[in-house]
Structure 1
Amino acid sequence: MPISAAIEEALLKAASALSSATLHEAAGRVGALPTNIKPIDPTMTICARAFPVRCPPGDNLWIHRALAAAAPGEALVVDTGAGREYGYWGEIMGTSAQARGLAGLVISGGVRDVAALRKLGLPTFSACVSIRDTVKDPSADGAFGEAVAIGDVRISRGDLVFGDADGVVVLTPDQARSAVRVGIDRDAQELAILDRVRAGALTLDVYKL
């Protein structure tokens, strides 16, 4: 599957100035991944094109394969199915991803070597931290570059994946274009609201409640 050219760099740059909550609401309250997926460091953010990966529970071979296949600037978005409680990713894989110019990792399972990963600085979003190791079965079913589903969100290669301290949102290119436009206006309106609240206005009055 060719790398999507639908999300242009200008759109990524504009999206990077927003937040996960803004993009989620501006898109019509869609695209939010499960709430347990959070950054290993609250200062980490990610805004990139998605490279989906599906791996069997407790097996990370397909993630190693995806590290070799993803293009610079893409972020691995990994569906681990029911196998959340494993450490699929650690310092060595994070270092490899950074060396290859990948934008980061979003995974529905666990990671480990968290202290080292924080020092590395590669944006890493996971459902948990787990010291349980994984196997590498070459016959196990998995895939990379094909659409996956995490929670109720379908993720295809080239979709916008955005994460910050509050969580992760994934939007199709069309959803992203609309959400970024709406989100910029929304943030401008919120700045005006903050000015009124700082001046003493009640939220009941501001929101006409």
Structure 2
Amino acid sequence: MEHGEPQAGAPIDPAIIAAFKTVATAVISDNLQRLPGATNLRPFYAGSPMAGVALTVNTAPGDNLFIHRALDLVKPGDVIVVNGGGGETRALVGEIIAAIARQRGAAGIIVDGAVRDSNVLMNSDFPVFARAVNHRGPYKNGPGAINVPVSIGGMIVAPGDVVVADADGVVAFAPAIASELLEAVRGQEQREAEIMASIRAGRYRGAYAE
């Protein structure tokens, strides 16, 4: 299978995506009942938090043929989200793929698998998240699929979902709830700011915040 259904629905307001770049994934998770979120994926870059729209890829562990094919479909603001089966024995993404994705306007890459060229990636501000590092390169045989629901770190991501990632982790959600979620997140940020102010003033007597 080469391609799934194209991303559906009206494009999400870029201002909402930009706003989520300023929001901690922990706070987003809190307002999604602390349920969604990928585990054991960490950043391999030196930049700011990432937010964008999911361009999803399913690929066999250790094989990146369909990642290369997805690069031809990248639109500005897309996050390439790859289910590599959690494989750590071969790298699926390295310096070249990251450079191509960046040049084509991608907001970042998330790989449930391994990367290489980690020193280059770690000194770049282009967002790359992955499970591990391995110098061994990938096969390019397939199979795979593009724009289908994928599982990364135990979280399901659908094509077109909003994806936000920072030093704490990766979370994704449907664009239909983005505006409501952002409002809830801003409310929590305000409450937490008030808690921090009360702590600094020696007045905090509340219940557990986290």
Question: TM-score of the superposition, structure 1-length normalised?
Answer: 0.90
**1:110-189 pair list within 5 angstroms:** 110-137=114-141, 140-189=142-191
AA aligned opposite 2:45:
D
Matching residue within 16, 19, 23 for 1:18 = 23
Structure 1: which 5+ residue stretches go unaligned?
A: none
1:53 aligns with 2:57: yes
Structure 2 CA distance, aligned partners of 1:127 and 1:177? 30
Post-superposition shift, 1:164? 0.4
Post-superposition shift, 1:31? 1.9
Identical columns (%): 32
Matching residue within 60, 78, 82 for 1:78 = 82
Contact 2:43 2:128 in 1 (8 A): yes
Post-superposition shift, 1:151? 3.8
Normalized per residue, which structure has more helix? 1
Contact 1:49 1:74 in 2 (8 A): yes
Find the counterpart in structure 2 of residue 201 from structure 1: 203
Residue 179 and residue 133 in structure 1: after superposition, are their counterparts in 2 closer, same or farther (change >3 A)?
same
1:27 aligns with 2:23: no
1:107 aligns with 2:111: yes
Contact 1:42 1:164 in 2 (8 A): no
Contact 2:46 2:123 in 1 (8 A): no
Residue 98 and residue 127 in structure 1: after superposition, are their counterparts in 2 closer, same or farther (change >3 A)?
same
AA aligned opposite 1:50:
A
**Which deviates the most, 13-22 or 46-55?**
13-22
Question: TM-score of the superposition, structure 2-length normalised?
Answer: 0.90
1:96 aligns with 2:100: yes
Contact 1:44 1:124 in 2 (8 A): no
Post-superposition shift, 1:6? 4.6
**Which deviates the most, 14-23 or 3-12?**
3-12
AA aligned opposite 1:194:
M
Structure 1 CA distance, aligned partners of 2:168 and 2:156? 20
Residue 55 and residue 31 in structure 1: after superposition, are their counterparts in 2 closer, same or farther (change >3 A)?
same
Where in structure 1 do 4 or more consecutive aligned residues deviate above 6 Å? none
Matching residue within 1, 10, 26 for 1:5 = 10
**Which deviates the most, 54-63 or 172-181?**
172-181
Taking only aligned residues, the RMSD between alpha carbons, in angstroms, comes to 1.8
Contact 1:54 1:144 in 2 (8 A): yes
**Which deviates the most, 184-193 or 148-157?**
148-157
Structure 2: which 5+ residue stretches go unaligned?
A: 1-5
